Chains A and B, each alone.
Chain A
Amino acid sequence: MNATWPITRRLHERQAQKKSAQEVCLVAILSAFVLGAALSPGNAQAGKAKFNKVLSIGDAAPDWTGLPGTDGKKHSLNDYRDAKAVVVVFTCNHCPVAKMYEERLIDFAGRYENKVQVVAISVSHIPADRLDKMKARAAEKGFEFPYLYDESQQIGRRYGATATPHFFLLDAERRIAYMGAFDDNFDEMKVEKHYLIDAVDALLAGKTPKVRESLQRGCAIEYE
């Protein structure tokens, strides 16, 4: 045993080296895939999302229960379990960009009324954004979708919401199918990419959205 041990050890070492070389190769190949996927613009199929620190495409959408709405009732994500898809939008009253998108959101919600459930959420502590003011805005604009308020801001944090407005499309299984901006331009006349609508249309047709992530733009959500 003593005579053969160094040989055996060298054999084991060589085998271990070969194995670890194989492992290194495998890791390198996998990393290349993940890196490649992560770097492809707007299509984070695997690995970290490009513009969201918390959620990735395909993740289970964070759940919520009992958030107060402008209708005076409490709302849970499960309320919409029969919807083929849900659009969660983090918005607020005061941000000019969020206001710019209200019309587009109302229009979208109306056109997709029986197919997609829209739900707007505010987590802003600014007085102009609180529930009483939200009720006034919902009434004034005739929101036909729930407008909820989360005082704790937790739902915003869990979605990785950074700015208003920030959109998340949830598929039938309530996984994140798209997240980011509604479209590519605040100026409605200049919009070229209808990110959210295209993603919704794809989902409803049983397909995967071509663009699954874009960069949301707007007023920072002020977490406290």
Chain B
Amino acid sequence: MSRIGRAVFVPSAIAICFAMSSCGDRVEKTSSNQGGKRATRGDAAAPDIILHSIDKPGFDALLAHLPGKVILVDFWATWCPPCREKFPHSVELSRKFGPQGLEVITLACDDEKATADVLTFLRAHEAVLQNLRSASGAGEKTFEDFEIDGGALPHYKLYDRSGKLRRTFSTDPVAQVQFSLADVDAAVIELLAEKPGDAATVADEPDEDEHDEAESRERE
């Protein structure tokens, strides 16, 4: 996302979320420039790494305000070594496919007390992305609300340009072959190439799909 785009988008997202605050949504913003403390927009110099605390309704609202984007959500946590290893790949995807309409969102399943650690990690990876932290932290509510299969991180969700959840990637004790980052890439590329109306004809691979049956019924 361009700097200008972000300067417009982020305040809008905050405005939207604050407007919905009567519904119990919470969005807090923390900037790496202040080492974890609140900061105002337009802070100088350093990479614009921003972290929003968000709950599920806020997350849904955020996604709804990204029309026409293919959205990849990377669910990770500072306490999850495999997540930390895979994280740079998400940053790379954002750089590579951002111009084509990919929006990468990271969501840290970390408690509030870990905010500084989250920011340190984001800054180290130059994660100039839409970075979120679940308001419920590492608690079970996060994993249930965001439907993180098997409570296992890392976990990815991929939404098409119409905002529909099309793929999830998570560890699967039933699958012979586990998902790889190459699979994520391929799915991103496929969805970026989709024209409006393609969605009905492009079939998702059943053994990689973690969707519940409602998803496939919806497609038919």
Contacts and interface: CB of A to CB of B under 8 A. Distances in A.
B173 A215 contact: no
Given A220-B170, A220-B171, A186 B138 contact: yes
Nearest to A193: B140
A77 interface: no
Interface in B62-88: 79-83
A54 B174 contact: yes
Interface string A197-224: 0000000000000000011111111111
A181 B173 contact: no
B127 to A, nearest CB: 20
A157 to B, nearest CB: 4
A161 interface: yes
Interface in B32-67: none
Interface string A29-56: 0000000000000000000000111100
A162 B79 contact: no
B208 interface: no
Given A186-B138, A215-B143, A222-B178, A53 B81 contact: no
Contacts of A214: 140
Given A53-B173, A181-B140, A217-B138, A162 B81 contact: no
A156 B173 contact: yes
**Chain A interface mostly helix, strand, loop or mixed?**
loop
Interface string B194-215: 0000000000000000000000
Given A220-B155, A220-B171, 8 more contacts: A53-B150, A162-B149, A162-B150, A163-B171, A185-B139, A186-B111, A216-B152, A219-B82
B150 A216 contact: yes
A223 B144 contact: no
B24 interface: no
Interface string A146-184: 000000000011011111000000000000000001001
Given A156-B173, A161-B173, A162-B173, A220 B152 contact: yes
B25 interface: no
A163 B79 contact: no
A94 interface: yes
B151 A160 contact: no
B107 to A, nearest CB: 14
A215 B144 contact: yes
Contacts, number: 96
A184 B139 contact: yes
Nearest to A99: B79
22 contacts: A54-B174, A97-B79, A97-B80, A157-B174, A160-B173, A160-B174, A162-B149, A162-B173, A163-B150, A184-B140, A186-B79, A187-B111, A216-B151, A217-B109, A218-B151, A218-B153, A219-B81, A219-B83, A220-B171, A221-B173, A223-B173, A223-B175
A60 B85 CA distance: 37
Contact of A215 (B151, B155, B175): B151
A30 B71 CA distance: 39
Contacts of B111: 186-187
Contacts of B144: 215
Contacts of B149: 162
B150 A51 contact: yes
A161 B80 CA distance: 17
A110 interface: no
Nearest to B80: A219
B140 A162 contact: no
A94 B81 contact: yes
Interface string A81-100: 00000000000001111000
A121 B151 CA distance: 18
Nearest to B78: A96
Given A96-B79, A184-B140, A217-B140, A163 B153 contact: yes
